Structure 1
Amino acid sequence: MEIRWLEAFVAVAEELHFGRAATRLHMAQSPLSQTIRKLEKDMGVPLFDRSTRSVALTPAGRSLLPHAYRALDELEVARQAAHASVGTVYGHLTMSFTGAINHRTLPRLTRALRRRYPDVVLSLQGRVVTGDAVAQLMQGTLDLAFVGLPLDPSPLASRLIAREALGAVVPVDHPLAQRAALDLAELREEDFIMMPSGGGSDLERTATAACVAAGFRPRVVQTIGDPFMILTFVAAGMGVSLVSEGMSDILPHGAVYVPLSGPQPYLQHGLAWAPANPSRVLPHVLEVAEQVLPTPA
């Protein structure tokens, strides 16, 4: 097996199109197809399902992909280490986050990492909800993820980094917009805008559980996978929502955050990773995370 075969495989796996992958690799499509066939022959299994209209990874291809990423990453680390001074940390780390929910925690970590380890390349993937992040961490396609806690039982490790109260977001002209606080039960007749149900979002799970505890199920009229767009739809007068207190910092014009009275439901933010991950960079990143995002008392 040659390194260029793995580079070709990764390009096709990410593009799912031989023409685009060939352009990305600065080569013609025919030699690329031949390279993939050589890799499949060497592996003894087909890696792609090909048709005249589409290209898709086979189960074998999906299994190979995280290992191909790791092999190419390790090669790059080896190349850089050959020229590195003693004690310099080089490498690549892939990290996911949900989006607006992490606007307080993500920048603190990434800025600290860039200062401490400028030769570490960070790849950030946005709009990755907790359920998807867990799956990708277990597959090896992610190294570190911002998630909601607690996680369902899994071989992953996690640590709490923030705890934020849940509150209501209502349009600025809503009758409750000027209240200092409101009882969640007062929203039982409202139209709700929420993250998709069953999509692995901890915000949706926590918000729904809070409504049920208040004696009603939210009447969801719109689901959106982007937390900031939820705020935007509320500002547009399309309904109300429940979000973490930290998101009150980034409300669009036309939306108002109102704290909840009574027992406080909380959204718990954490970092998750796979202890078996062989990345040489991950332990250094976790050490920095401990310093800039300590577990709250």
Structure 2
Amino acid sequence: MELRHLRYFRAVAEELHFGRAAERLHIAQPPLSQQIRQLEEELGVPLLVRSTRRVELTAAGAAYLRRTVEILDAVDAAAGQAQRVAGGQEGTLSIGCVGSATYSLLPRLVRALREELPGLDVSVRGEMLAPAQISALTAGEIDLALLRPPVSGSELVVETIRRDRLIVALPEGDPRATSDQVTVTDLRDAEFIAHAGRGRSVMNTVLTSICARAGFVPQIHHEVEETSTLVTLVAAGLGVAIVPEATAALGLAGVRYLPIAPDAPDVELAVARVAADPSPMIEQVLTVLRRVADE
């Protein structure tokens, strides 16, 4: 028995006419009749009652038709799914993301993917520091990493997708929070809350570099890994923080965000992936990501 036998039987059973079934299948009627008889001989039961005027299904034929339709539809669905997976429209995708982009870019990206590539099963891991994302990428735990450069590793492809302006997060009760903007020098005596140091966060290095250019070393009183925790500590009045502007999307009460004067520095946001994975799915997701980042 081959799939063609099932397709032939389905056509005859649905048309209840060998001539019409043959036209539907684009074959001659005699070979079609022969194939149906071979199917019945293999099964050992009659599927059709034939007369000069009509063709009818036997009870066994009606039962066999129901299962035949299920089988053929499943085969067609499997072929369609394989084609969608090969074309990048279907599959599983895991995305890692730094804290600030977790609250701004990531929600918009996931919504866009759901609309444009509904066959993708997308999972996200937010609030991941760059070293953790790189480890997860190389281990195959995530497919894409949204992080802050620099990123090392010849096995990775890194592409900058946007630049984020840096701003200052201040407790609402801080005297500097009443201004329209602040300079880095205004923060010389401030107590800072910073992202994790010792190479675990690019933002920690950015903070020390910005303060060094202003002629001082920041007084870091708390180091945290999650941006949400950092902003929460600012809201609690435990210090100030220099963060990417996208962090303001967190919208936590008790925090005032101010631009840095005169010229606000910025930081890159990049997407990284494993170089050996040029899959159509990743390419389609990157196309959506670039557009969402531009918006």
TM-score by structure 1 length?
0.67
Contact 1:195–1:204 (CA under 8 A) maintained in structure 2:
yes
Contact 2:128–2:226 (CA under 8 A) maintained in structure 1:
no
Tell me which residue corresponds to 1:194. Answer: 194
Q: Tell me the distance in 1 between the aligned counterparts of 2:145 and 2:238.
A: 31
1:116 alignment partner AA:
E
How many correspondences in the alignment? 217
Tell me which residue corresponds to 2:225. Answer: 225
Tell me which residue corresponds to 2:33. Answer: none
TM-score by structure 2 length?
0.67
Quote the offset at 1:281 in angstroms: 2.1
Q: Does 1:84 align with 2:81?
A: yes
Structure with larger Rg: 2
2:81 alignment partner AA:
A
Tell me which residue corresponds to 1:150. Answer: 150
Gaps of 5+ in 1: 1-79
Tell me which residue corresponds to 2:102. Answer: 102
1:177 alignment partner AA:
A
Tell me which residue corresponds to 2:180. Answer: 180
Tell me which residue corresponds to 2:211. Answer: 211
SS at match of 1:177: helix
Tell me which residue corresponds to 1:130. Answer: 130
Q: Does 1:268 align with 2:268?
A: yes
Quote the offset at 1:139 in angstroms: 2.8
Tell me which residue corresponds to 1:38. Answer: none
Quote the offset at 1:156 in angstroms: 1.4
Q: Does 1:249 align with 2:249?
A: yes
Tell me which residue corresponds to 2:160. Answer: 160
RMSD: 2.3
Q: Tell me the distance in 1 between the aligned counterparts of 2:246 and 2:292.
A: 17
SS at match of 1:281: helix
Contact 1:81–1:90 (CA under 8 A) maintained in structure 2:
no
Tell me which residue corresponds to 1:288. Answer: 288
1:106 alignment partner AA:
L
Gaps of 5+ in 2: 1-76
Q: Tell me the distance in 1 between the aligned counterparts of 2:92 and 2:157.
A: 20
Tell me which residue corresponds to 2:15. Answer: none
Tell me which residue corresponds to 1:12. Answer: none
2:246 alignment partner AA:
G
Contact 1:101–1:227 (CA under 8 A) maintained in structure 2:
no
Within-5 A mapping of 1:24-39: none
Contact 1:96–1:142 (CA under 8 A) maintained in structure 2:
yes
Q: Which has the larger share of helix?
A: 2
Deviations along 1:122-171, one digit per CA (max 9) or x if unpaired, are 12112211122122222322210101123235331122222121121111
Q: Tell me the distance in 2 between the aligned counterparts of 1:198 and 1:192.
A: 16
Quote the offset at 1:293 in angstroms: 2.4
Contact 2:233–2:239 (CA under 8 A) maintained in structure 1:
yes
